[in-house]
Amino acid sequence: MATSVLVDGFGGAEMMRTAEFDERLPGTGQVRIAVRAAGVNPIDFKTRNGWLRDVFPSTFPYVPGSEVAGVVDAVGADVAGVTVGDGVVAITSMGYATSTIANAQNVFAKPEGMSFVDAAAFPVASEVGYRTMLQLAVAAGDVVVINGAGGPSGSAAAQFALAWGAQVIGIVGPSSFEWMQSIGAIPVEYGDGIVERVAAVASAGVDALLDCAGKGNLADLVQIAGEPAKVITIADMSASALGVRFSGAEPGDRHVEGVRKALDLWSEGKMRIPVSATFPLDQAAEALALSERGGAGGKLILTVGEFS
């Protein structure tokens, strides 16, 4: 038997519970993963709260979670390069569980020396970071501004841009200044006067701007970039009113290549995703509450059993 977190309906923590289920065998092109850690993302509480019901219709009960790290314990037909016992990182569904099934093309080898906790922080953040930097056509020599650069997706985007030879300016809170400097980005504090503060650093102008925060300052960000075409947001639903592109991954249209490249950069010492806190699986509601309150900074991770 395995254990999962279930969401029984739209609402808050009262709609979440744990339950046991029978593990199933993976189908063709799939692997089964004994989960050691699962990433928590804003989409998890937004979906549970019913805020995305028009975009992602839900059938109850469902198991949340879209990224895990763990050990392969069963392999389906027509799967190459993955064997039982492999430590892996995966983009999947139903990740808040002790066991989950993933499509093999979305499963990646966990680098030697990477903990399961750190590994579970990578899939969604690195997919978002890679996708948005590609959409902004970031190249060597560009000046890239990232609003909310201290969070997981912003951090991944910043490190991709830096690896490609761009200069990165991160709009963050004071608590993230040291983190920005440690990865080679220039921190600028958010808040009133942000347009002038960024201009003082980027005297030659800005080539691309990514908004990961969605804090209602999109008009200022467009002013910083100079034109809406240079701006992408993953968090501000008012984007279209300002002519700004909204970037969201669609099922089956993920840039999974970004996960692989991010893991390679980790092995080279050029990519880290900050982890702020871990919670046991049965405290998933508490993890989502912290995610919804905001301010955690780094990734929140659910842990299962042994997870060194």
Contact present, 180 and 186 (Cβ < 8 Å): yes
| Angular region, 165: left φ>0, alpha ψ -120 to 50, beta rest | left
pLDDT higher than 80, residue 38: yes
Q: What is the signed CA dihedral for 269, 163, 157, 178, rounded to 10 degrees?
A: 60
pLDDT at 216: 81
Work out the average pLDDT over 178-184: 97
Mean pLDDT of the chain: 94
pTM: 0.93
Could you give the CA distance from residue 88 to residue 101 in angstroms, rounded to a whole number?
Answer: 12
Contact present, 190 and 173 (Cβ < 8 Å): yes
pLDDT higher than 90, residue 264: yes
Each residue's pLDDT tens digit, 223-254 = 999 999 999 999 998 899 999 999 987 655 55
Residue of 284, 258, 289, 253 whose CA lies nearest to 271: 258
Work out the average pLDDT over 75-104: 96
Return the percentage of the chain with pLDDT > 70, whole number: 96
Question: What value does the CA radius of gyration of the chain take, rounded to a whole number of Å?
Answer: 19
Could you give the CA distance from residue 243 to residue 253 in angstroms, rounded to a whole number?
Answer: 23
- Per-residue pLDDT band for 104 (boundaries 50, 70, 90) equals very high
